Amino acid sequence: MNGLGGLNKSENGVVIGLVQLQLPVVATPADLAAQTAKIVAMVGKARRNMATMDLVVFPEYALHGLSMDTNPAIMCRMDGPEVAAFRAACAEHRIWGCFSIMEYNPNGNPYNVGIVIDDQGAVKLYYRKLHPWVPVEPWEPGDLGIPVIDGPKGAKLALIICHDGMFPEMARECAYKGAEIMLRTAGYTAPIRDSWRFTNQANAFQNLMVTANVCMCGSDGTFDSMGEGMIVNFDGTVLAHGTTGRADEIVTAEVRPDLVREARTGWGVENNIYQLWHRGYVAVKGGAMDCPYSFMKDMVAGTYRLPWEDAVKVVDGTSCGFPAPERAYGESAATAEAAE
């Protein structure tokens, strides 16, 4: 089904390219401009690399590197020059693109944002990371949910970011909203390699959904990102895997959203996303359509609490050098300061 990495594209195929981008150091506006130009050049490389490619995906932190610097001078805005450059590159090369920015937030910490731009240069998907990688990351928790769009060739497309993919509820939400392809961009470093691999496969299999996943690659002199571009079929089979750790390599494969749709409607055994709400339909008509899960009920009720809640030791970012926050979720920085 891989079609030799997309070289032999089928009528219903979508060819995805995952860029294992060299991890940069970005500390100044000049650095930001230079890295923007590097990404734009890589969009061109992707198009030249494979004429059949429909979507090129850049990792989380492709633009900002792993410094966790929240300096407003290097934060982006959706109407700023970086996004404009990405839009122009997609239009010029007639290719869809997925990009990462750290977005200025006047009401608090910056947002970790992923965007998908179509082959005409229009922003089609805008996502704020729901689960920053605490306690390491300082980003504001996302507040827009998980959008699902009509992507290349009409495929239903979703995007999550890095640590998001460690929560099975994230992939389930993507699939529940119709996603046939879920992108997962990341900056993960080598200690996460094994969990990265098995969660990418589990997210695909449990939801009968293609997952396309990629990390930054190489070293910035401090951190070593791992690349590990993985395209996983809806049955959990790995279609392509960048295991060499070669920076700026583009890992490619063809995926088939039409076969995802066929599996979701035709599978009996292991059609788990359907069977979640139709438990035991062999025994009872339509299956049991209830919610037997305490954690779901408690989250909705606002009473979610672990049995070991009071024993949890790391509950803020102070262990990673960030000050303990005093502002509640949904409260602006200005409001919090005024209350003091």
Q: For residue 320, indicate whether it is catalytic.
A: no
* Active-site hit among 90, 162, 215, 217: 162
Token readout for 263 is 């599996």
Q: How far apart are CA 122 and CA 209, in angstroms?
A: 25
Q: How far apart are CA 184 and CA 235, in angstroms?
A: 17
Q: How far apart are CA 124 and CA 112, in angstroms?
A: 17
Note whether 102 and 67 are within 8 A (CB): no
Give the number of other Cβ atoms within 10 Å of residue 189's Cβ: 17
* Active-site hit among 60, 173, 180, 249: 60
Residue-wise DSSP of 221-283: SS-EEE---EEE-TTS-EEEE--S--TTEEEEEEE-HHHHHHHHHH--TT-HHHHTTSBTTTT
Q: For residue 38, indicate whether it is catalytic.
A: no
Q: For residue 60, indicate whether it is catalytic.
A: yes
The DSSP bridge pattern shows strands 123-128 and 111-117 to be antiparallel
Token readout for 265 is 């409607």
**Residues in the chain, overall count:** 340
* Tokens 């689960």, located at residue: 131
**Which residues pair with residue 156 across a beta bridge?**
150
Token readout for 133 is 């990688």
Q: What SS3 class is residue 84?
A: helix
Q: Give phi and psi for 249, each to the nearest 5.
A: -70, 145
Q: How far apart are CA 6 and CA 10, in angstroms?
A: 9
* Active-site hit among 82, 129, 249, 254: 129
Q: Give catalytic residues, as residue numbers.
A: 60, 129, 162
